[in-house]
Every structure is written in structure tokens, then in C-alpha cells.
Amino acid sequence: MSTTTRFSGSSSRWGRKVVILGATSGIALEVERQLARRGAELLLVARSPQRLAALEADLLLRGAKQVATYASDLASIQQHAQVFDFVRQSCPEYDTVLLAYGSMQDQHDSEMSVDVLLDELNVNFVSAAAILTLFAADLEQRGSGCLAVITSVAGDRGRRSNYVYGSAKGALSLFLGGLRSRLHSAGVKVITIKPGPVQTPMTDHLANAARFAEPGLVARDIVRALGRRSPDVLYTPWFWRYVMTAVRQIPEPLFKRLEL
């Protein structure tokens, strides 16, 4: 997909030196490619050192000014301090943190196993809130920067088919709302990113996956949101804002009967 927005002093406040947590996600990969084409500096954190090495080479070829990588399991909160220290040492002037990692396990597994349930809540909410707290304090002290965090439309209303994932994303969205309010006066932007279904490895086993949004389109919206007029809450593709407004209006006595 071609992109026309250019980084310049007037069009973009953030997105020049970007830390990406969960850099191997399908959505993050597309964001990284688009940022690389603009000559951004990227610091990538993900689980697989092999995939990070391949990604580094690819993004440098695509135009990234600089790429650093760090392998970590971000669900492990004990590892967060090391991730944070690496970022501070390798790219102390980072202007943006994009949190992209997440997990959507089969809802039925979470219903049958408290361990699976807790893993899902930890990956999607608890660990995310933990690592964001480190970066938030740093940016608050610095008085600038942007935290852009991928949650989901699934967090806007509890549905029987995915309320565990949805409740973690909903909690993350609430957390971001409060964080935004706290950091506003410090000059730090917090963007809540709510994609609808997207064609990535997370969803490729689902029926109708071919009709989901292309990750390149979602990435374009995310990269644009790092520009000067960035929204507080980004629904992507855009129409999900209106779909979820309608879904939230359905009275609970009716909603609980819907096979959603």
C-alpha cells in the first residue's frame, strides 16, 4: 500500500524514534514497514531473537535509519526492568512507545482452565499496564512523548464468545483513559487504538478471516495517528467507532440473548 504522509516538523510530532513492544505481531510488522519507509529509528522488542534479526535486516533495507532489537517475553513482568533499561541506554530520546503484543486464545479454554484465564488476563492487561507504567513515568518526567497502545473493539462490550480477551482489552482501555488524563498536563499523549477484526496470525483460523481488515490499512491509520492531530481514541477501520456505538446501545436483556 502506498503511503503519502511524510515526517516533517509540521506534520508529525511522534513516530521518529519508536519503541515497539510485540514487534513481530502482524499489525506491528506493517507499522514498522511504514515507519521504516519514512526513515524512522526503531527499537523492537519481541520473543524470538531469530525473527528479530530477520526483521532488523528487512527494515534497514526498507529505509529505517536505525534498528535495535531486544528479545523478551513481555508477559514476564520480571523482565520489564531489563527491557526498560535497554531502551533507555540504546535510544534515550525515543519519542513513541507502541504496545502491540497480545493473545487471543480460544474462549472455551479460558472457561475450562483458570490458568489459561489468568495467562490471557496477564498478557493482555496486567503485563501491559505494568510495562506502560515504567514508560509513563519516564515520559512524564521528560514532559513529552507518546504512548500508543493497541487494545480492541472487543473491549467495548462483553460478549459470550470472547469476554475473557474482551475484558482484558476493556480493562486496558480504562487504564489508558486514566493514564491519558494523568499525563495530559505533562505534555504526554496517550492513544488508545481499537482495531476491529484484522487479518493477522491471531485471526487466520477464524471463519470469515478473509473479510477482516488488511493489516496494512490498520497500520496506516496507526501511523497517521502519530501525526499532529492524533486522536485520543482511534477506531480502525474508522467505521468501528459507529458499529460499537450502536452495539453499546443494545439493552442488556436483549444483548444477553444474542449469539455473539
Ligand X SMILES: NC(=O)c1ccc[n+]([C@@H]2O[C@H](COP(=O)([O-])OP(=O)(O)OC[C@H]3O[C@@H](n4cnc5c(N)ncnc54)[C@H](OP(=O)(O)O)[C@@H]3O)[C@@H](O)[C@H]2O)c1
Catalytic center residues:
165
- Show the site string, 192-211: x = touches ligand X by CB under 6 A, - = not: ---x-xx-xxxx--------
Closest CA to 136 of 100, 184, 174, 102: 184
**Interacting residues with ligand X between 71 and 130 (CB under 6 A):** 73-75, 100-104, 123
Among 40, 46, 183, 219, binds ligand X (CB under 6 A): 46
Locate 248 and state its grid cell: 453499546
d(C-alpha 42, C-alpha 55), whole Å: 11
Is 132 a binding residue for ligand X by CB under 6 A? The answer is no
Residue 53: CB minimum distance to ligand X, A: 13
How many helices (H) and strands (E) are present in the chain, helices listed first?
10, 7
Strand spans (E) along the chain: 17-21, 41-46, 66-71, 96-99, 146-150, 189-195, 233-236
Task: Build a one-symbol-per-residue string for 147-176: x at contacts with ligand X by CB under 6 A, - elsewhere.
Answer: ---x-x------------------------
Which stretch, 6-14, 17-25, 108-116, 247-255, contacts ligand X (CB under 6 A)?
17-25
Distances (CA, A) of 11 to 31, 90, 186, 228: 17, 26, 21, 6
Shortest-Cβ-distance residue relative to ligand X: 102
Interface residue list for ligand X (CB under 6 A): 22, 24-27, 46-48, 73-75, 100-104, 123, 150, 152, 195, 197-198, 200-203
